[in-house]
Amino acid sequence: MCGIIGYVGPGKASQILTDGLKMLEYRGYDSVGIAVLKDGKLEVRKDKGMVEEVSSALAFTTMGGNVGVGHSRWATHGVVCKENAHPHTDCTKNIALVHNGVVENFSKLKSELSAAGHKFSSDTDSEVVVHLVEEYSKTQPPLKAFMRAIGRLEGSYAIALMSAADSEERLFLARRNSPLVIGVGKGEMLCASDIPAMLKYTKTFVALEEGDMAILSRHGYKVYSSDGSEVSRKQITVDWGVEMAQKGGYPHFMLKEINDQKHFISESLASDVTGARKLMDKYDRIDIIAAGTSYHAGLMLACLLQQQGRNAQAFIASDYPFITSPKEKTLVIGISQSGETADVLQALRHAPKSPKLAITNTVGSSITRLVDHTVFLNSGPEVGVAATKTFTSQLAIVYKLIYGKEKLGGLPALIEKMLASENHVKAIAQKLASKENVFFIARGRNVPIAYEASLKFKEITYIHSEAYPGGELKHGTLSLITEGVPVIALAPKDDTLQKLFGNIREAKARGGLIVSVTDDDEVRKESAMSIPIPSGLDPILYPFALIVPLQLLAYHVSVLKGINPDRPRNLAKSVTVE
């Protein structure tokens, strides 16, 4: 969940690391730091806080040197404070390390190292690694010492390390269950947790595989497998432009990404799903695993497959290993925009014998290496912590898998029309920003959209929010609907409307403040506020019409409350711990 960046080359390392950390901040943003090597001396600056404030307060970019590592933290071990921020150094202050992941055997290693005289300055699990390298460096050359230290680690890690004692300017890398990608430049090399941080310098990348270690120098790179032997790893090129990972004039990435949906939906619809469809036709049972927003896309896929009479079910990835034992005849589909969500990767590993399919946005991500076939979203990088454009892209892929592309031609225009409701949505946001609870209701295939709208709402507004199939209200939740409590009804004119209308009336009779997204005049009349859906829409497209204004609603309530929707508290974009 933390963000790592490293650089070696002719450029000014501190500037490149600081710029990169700004791009990586969505991975974690409670503390930040960089270390650079200049004239054989190591300098570290770090503190708690966001990249912008810490880097300017500590004048990161005044640091000289052409090799360095940087880190933005999402705390797992130890409170948020300067000491626990990365980079961490050894006792001699000659070696600096940044780490993403969790070293599960850190207390055993820490006791061993303490007994050998090492002094620790933080409460983190990460610091043990740099002391371990220091210990082994006493008797072995740098690469051997690094490999030996890595061999002792249990758990997950993406690591970048450098040493002032090394005769060359080099970075040492290792990864297991945490992403780390090498950026191959001309006369310079980079590494980072995610591709967008390196786009300014290169479009050529090498995604390290599980257990890989690597050395970077300005002349090139070498990759080693966990047994220490040199291996070759495929280079990938991406056609993402730097501007795709920038705000492009919008106040927040989230708003840009919501608006981007009108373009990227076509890119997603162009994605090749023939291999995936063949796989899906071959198996009787389909298990779909995912987390958060991607789980809601998974629910939609399961729902549409079930409507076709197929045996399909969506599972929360982190629970999948506890409730299933998939057989060879089960196709397991993992959906993950990042392709790095630890819960999803773990769930896929839980089905060793099953054929597997991934739906992801990230070329070279870990999920692609765990499956037999991958469908890419083609949504471009998504930077806002709240998933928006990747959700509609996931829906587009799901729809293409089920209905084929022919029926979906009108999607870009529909999304554009729904985006045009922004000012109206903003006015509704003003009425909701002071509320403490919000409920979303829907029925049938609109229920996954209600779940997603509710997740988006709570994630960035900090207002308690829940979503239900409308029929469930009377089985308990109705006790919470009192005067003025918002009930947001996803009420398109499809086969679910009649029953949902009954639920809307039940809520209204208890004082509920009805906000509808609808193309039905009667529902509109019953509502205190309403967001219109264009009339005459093919009913299968309603989910797309529903989610876009509800993303905008969450965004505007968040902004009205003075929250940064791109960086909601306690969350991170890519959740690489279980």
Query: Nearest distance from residue 439's CB to ligand AGP, in Å?
Result: 19
**Is the Cβ of residue 244 or residue 348 nearer to ligand AGP in the bound state?**
348
Query: Nearest distance from residue 162's CB to ligand AGP, in Å?
Result: 30
d(CA 276, CA 358): 9
Q: What is the DSSP letter of 519?
A: S
Using the contact rule CB under 6 A, the part of the chain among 111-119, 173-181, 324-332, 383-391 near ligand AGP is 383-391
Q: Which two tokens stand for residue 139?
A: 């008797």
d(CA 457, CA 89): 41
d(CA 100, CA 212): 15
Residues 85-144 that bind ligand AGP (CB under 6 A): none
Using the contact rule CB under 6 A, the part of the chain among 209-217, 235-243, 286-294, 551-559 near ligand AGP is 286-294
**Is the Cβ of residue 194 or residue 519 nearer to ligand AGP in the bound state?**
194
Q: Where are the beta strands (DSSP E) in 210-250?
A: 213-217, 220-224, 230-231, 235-237
Rounded to a whole number of angstroms, the CA Rg of the chain reads: 25
How far does CA 545 lie from the centroid of its chain? 24
Strand 356-360 and strand 330-336: the pairing is: parallel
> Which residue among the candidates 110, 262, 356, 573 is catalytic per the annotation?
573
d(CA 368, CA 560): 39
Q: Which residue in 292, 298, 355, 549 binds ligand AGP (CB under 6 A)?
A: 292
d(CA 229, CA 412): 50
**Is the Cβ of residue 201 or residue 320 nearer to ligand AGP in the bound state?**
320
Using the contact rule CB under 6 A, the part of the chain among 126-134, 244-252, 288-296, 555-563 near ligand AGP is 288-296
User: What does 269-287 look like in DSSP terms, one character per residue?
Assistant: HTS--HHHHHHHHH-SEEE
Contact 170, 217 (CB under 8 A): yes
Q: Which residue in 66, 94, 337, 392 binds ligand AGP (CB under 6 A)?
A: 337
d(CA 102, CA 363): 24
> Which residue among the candidates 2, 110, 456, 493 is catalytic per the annotation?
2
User: What does 112-177 look like in DSSP terms, one character per residue?
Assistant: HHHHTT----SS-STHHHHHHHHHHHTTS-HHHHHHHHHHT--EEEEEEEEETTSSS--EEEEEES
Q: Which residue in 341, 374, 465, 558 binds ligand AGP (CB under 6 A)?
A: 341
**Is the Cβ of residue 137 or residue 261 nearer to ligand AGP in the bound state?**
261
* Residue 301 interacting with ligand AGP (CB under 6 A): no
Contact 221, 182 (CB under 8 A): yes
Q: If you search the block for the tokens 């003075």, which residue do you land on?
A: 562
**Is the Cβ of residue 27 or residue 493 nearer to ligand AGP in the bound state?**
27
* Residue 338 interacting with ligand AGP (CB under 6 A): yes
Q: Which residue in 13, 342, 385, 547 binds ligand AGP (CB under 6 A)?
A: 385
Q: Which residue in 301, 383, 386, 453 binds ligand AGP (CB under 6 A)?
A: 386
Helix 542-560, helix 253-269: angle, nearest 10: 170
d(CA 223, CA 212): 7
Query: Nearest distance from residue 524's CB to ligand AGP, in Å?
Result: 29
d(CA 527, CA 520): 11
**Is the Cβ of residue 231 or residue 316 nearer to ligand AGP in the bound state?**
316
* Residue 179 interacting with ligand AGP (CB under 6 A): no
Q: What angle do CA 321, 339, 377 make, to 5 degrees?
A: 125
d(CA 558, CA 458): 9
**Is the Cβ of residue 261 or residue 336 nearer to ligand AGP in the bound state?**
336
Query: Nearest distance from residue 159's CB to ligand AGP, in Å?
Result: 22
Query: Nearest distance from residue 578's CB to ligand AGP, in Å?
Result: 12
Count the residues of the shown chain that bind ligand AGP, applying the rule CB under 6 A: 15
Helix (H) or strand (E) segment spanning residue 5 = strand 3-8
Contact 230, 224 (CB under 8 A): yes
**Is the Cβ of residue 294 or residue 392 nearer to ligand AGP in the bound state?**
294
* Residue 387 interacting with ligand AGP (CB under 6 A): yes
Query: Nearest distance from residue 283's CB to ligand AGP, in Å?
Result: 23
* Residue 336 interacting with ligand AGP (CB under 6 A): yes
Strand partners, 32: 47, 72
User: Residue number with the shortest CB distance to ligand AGP?
Assistant: 292
Q: Which residue in 124, 178, 293, 496 binds ligand AGP (CB under 6 A)?
A: 293
Query: Nearest distance from residue 337's CB to ligand AGP, in Å?
Result: 4
Query: Nearest distance from residue 386's CB to ligand AGP, in Å?
Result: 4
d(CA 208, CA 212): 6
Residues 431-470 that bind ligand AGP (CB under 6 A): 459
d(CA 57, CA 204): 33
Using the contact rule CB under 6 A, the part of the chain among 83-91, 264-272, 384-392, 540-548 near ligand AGP is 384-392
Contact 536, 511 (CB under 8 A): no
d(CA 527, CA 511): 12
Using the contact rule CB under 6 A, the part of the chain among 33-41, 280-288, 301-309, 337-345 near ligand AGP is 337-345
**Is the Cβ of residue 84 or residue 261 nearer to ligand AGP in the bound state?**
261
**Is the Cβ of residue 292 or residue 470 nearer to ligand AGP in the bound state?**
292
* Residue 344 interacting with ligand AGP (CB under 6 A): yes
Q: For 32, list phi and psi in degrees, rounded to 5.
A: -150, 150
Query: Nearest distance from residue 26's CB to ligand AGP, in Å?
Result: 10
Known active-site residue 573 = yes
Contact 82, 63 (CB under 8 A): no
d(CA 486, CA 512): 6
Query: Nearest distance from residue 368's CB to ligand AGP, in Å?
Result: 13
Tell me which residues are annotated as active site. 2, 573
- Positions touching ligand AGP (CB under 6 A) are 291-294, 336-338, 341, 344, 385-387, 459, 574-575
